[in-house]
Structure 1
Amino acid sequence: MTCQKCKGLMIEEWRPDYSSETAVMRCINCGLVLDPLIQQNRLSKSHQKHSALDAA
């Protein structure tokens, strides 16, 4: 997976402070961290933008 911010390499990492049950993705270049909740929220917002553009 590539980082959305810097296009660097994302690695899977276990970080109990973010989520005790699932791994998070962390960019080894810029340090961007994506956990499942962040990813879900971004997908939801992206879907809402496309829906609004289609309605216009």
Structure 2
Amino acid sequence: MTCQKCKGLMIEEQHPELAPEALVHRCLNCGLVLDSLIQKNRLTSRRGKDSLLHAA
């Protein structure tokens, strides 16, 4: 997986403090962290912006 911010390498890590089965992706270059909730929220906000642009 490639980082959206710096195009670096993303690795998968477990974070038991979030949940026993929680997996996140962290960039080795810039430290960007993405989990499933962050990705879901970004998709939701992007869809909302797209619908606003098409409504205008």
Q: Report the TM-score when normalising by structure 1.
A: 0.88
Q: Which runs of 5+ in 2 are unaligned?
A: none
Q: CA RMSD in A?
A: 1.1
Q: Which runs of 5+ in 1 are unaligned?
A: none
Measured in 1, the distance between the counterparts of 2:20 and 2:32 equals 19
| Structure 1 residues 19 and 3: CA distance shift in structure 2, 3 A | farther
CA deviation vs aligned residue, 1:13-54 (integer Å, no higher than 9, x gap): 111123322310000101111111011000100111111111
Identity %: 64
